[in-house]
């Protein structure tokens, strides 16, 4: 049984295999209490984003913990209105200041832009932040093979992670195959399909009874056995505890494959193509022109 709690990325850095997502967790006391509780229960990966608006609370909880900084893996993300070389640099420093940390462990481009050259320009800023050791790992989020392929052809550093919506109802085989081929780790957001029906699926419910686990634990164990990193979100202490207890059992090969067959390409979040179109359309001409900026 694979009980290893970390996953080695393509640059040698190890990331915890399960972390806490804080999307929609309110800044201030709720984010401070939620992150503090998770850290107290053994979580060492915290995933936030500038768009979430709670970097300050997340950072305060981390700083107030008695856990050495190098034992906590902190992720944040660049929003699309900050894409482009200069704006990405400024946004990174703003996130770093809000978090109140000396460095960020993982920095992601939150969504792809329809302007592939703009993504490349953004990534060049990421590469320089990485070389300056202001961030330990750089990656992307919600990228499809078409976005990744263009990025890899026009930049030097291969993203270490692609964070995508992934759960048994949306297994993302094409993107996963591409990432495996290029040694890019996959991190699952909404691994439990929050607001969806996967936890009520008859197969998931029956396996929960069989293994004496919760439906959420069955689904998260499926992620583990697919060699995925997961960041389930919760503010409820009992669920935070439950989500972390997935290393003491293993799904049989037969049950694992049955869960693999649940895929129906069903998203609960936006398709990256449509999201990119909306975000790209909101960018000003000034931001778009940054891709032409000569450094």
Instruction: Tell me whether residue 7 is in a domain.
Output: no
- Rounded to two decimals, the pTM is 0.92
Output the pLDDT for position 106: 98
Please count the structural domains in the chain: 1
Output the pLDDT for position 279: 52
Instruction: Tell me whether residue 295 is in a domain.
Output: no
Instruction: Tell me whether residue 3 is in a domain.
Output: no
155/84 Cα distance (integer angstroms): 14
Instruction: Tell me whether residue 185 is in a domain.
Output: yes
Output the pLDDT for position 4: 79
Q: Supply the CATH number for residue 128's domain.
A: 3.20.20.100
Query: Sign (positive/negative) of CA torsion 149, 152, 155, 161?
Result: positive
4/111 Cα distance (integer angstroms): 30
Is the confidence at residue 190, as pLDDT, over 90?
A: yes
249 within 8 A of 221, measured Cβ to Cβ: yes
Q: How far is CA 199 from the centre of its chain?
A: 21
Output the pLDDT for position 3: 56
Q: Which is more confident, 66 or 12?
A: 12
Instruction: Tell me whether residue 57 is in a domain.
Output: yes
Output the pLDDT for position 277: 55
Instruction: Tell me whether residue 267 is in a domain.
Output: yes
Q: For residue range 60-119, what is the model confidence (pLDDT) as tens digits? A: 999 999 899 999 999 999 999 999 999 999 999 999 999 999 999 999 999 999 899 999
Is the confidence at residue 122, as pLDDT, over 90?
A: yes
Q: Which domain holds residue 244?
A: 14-289
Output the pLDDT for position 293: 42
Instruction: Tell me whether residue 1 is in a domain.
Output: no
Output the pLDDT for position 273: 84
Is the confidence at residue 2, as pLDDT, over 60?
A: no
Q: For residue range 237-289, what is the model confidence (pLDDT) as tens digits? A: 999 999 999 999 999 999 999 999 999 999 998 898 877 555 544 443 333 33
Catalytic residues: 52
- The backbone torsions φ and ψ at residue 263, rounded to the nearest 5 degrees and listed phi first, read -55, 135
Instruction: For residue 93, give Cα distances in angstroms to 64, 77, 98, 100, 135.
Output: 21, 12, 9, 10, 11
Instruction: Tell me whether residue 38 is in a domain.
Output: yes
83/178 Cα distance (integer angstroms): 24
> pLDDT band for position 160 (50/70/90)?
very high
Quote the mean pLDDT of the chain: 93
Output the pLDDT for position 195: 78
195/176 Cα distance (integer angstroms): 23
């Amino acid at each position: 049984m694979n009980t290893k709690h970390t996953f080695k990325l393509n640059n040698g850095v190890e990331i915890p295999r399960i972390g806490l997502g804080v999307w929609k967790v309110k800044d201030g006391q709720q984010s401070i209490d939620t992150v503090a509780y998770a850290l107290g229960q053994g979580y060492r990966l915290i995933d936030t984003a500038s768009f979430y608006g709670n970097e300050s609370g997340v950072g305060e909880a981390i700083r107030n913990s008695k856990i050495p900084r190098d034992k906590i893996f902190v992720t944040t993300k660049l929003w699309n209105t900050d894409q482009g070389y200069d704006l990405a640099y400024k946004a990174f420093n703003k996130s770093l200041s809000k978090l109140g940390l000396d460095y960020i462990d993982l920095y992601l481009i939150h969504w792809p832009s329809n302007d592939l050259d703009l993504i490349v320009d953004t990534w060049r800023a990421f590469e320089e932040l990485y070389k300056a050791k202001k961030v330990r790992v750089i990656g992307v989020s919600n990228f499809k093979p078409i976005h990744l392929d263009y990025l890899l052809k026009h930049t030097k550093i291969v993203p270490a992670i692609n964070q995508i919506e992934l759960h048994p109802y949306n297994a993302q085989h094409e993107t996963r195959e591409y990432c495996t081929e290029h040694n890019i780790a996959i991190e699952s957001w909404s691994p439990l399909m929050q607001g969806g029906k996967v936890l009520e699926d008859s197969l998931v419910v029956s396996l929960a009874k069989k293994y004496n686990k919760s439906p959420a634990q069955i689904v998260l164990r499926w992620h583990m056995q697919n060699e995925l990193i997961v960041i389930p979100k919760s503010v409820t202490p009992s669920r935070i505890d439950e989500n972390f207890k997935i290393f003491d059992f293993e799904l049989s090969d037969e049950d694992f494959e049955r869960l693999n067959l649940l895929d129906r390409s069903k998203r609960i979040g936006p398709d990256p193509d449509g999201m990119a179109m909306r975000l790209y359309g909101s960018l000003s001409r000034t931001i778009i022109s940054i891709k032409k900026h000569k450094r």
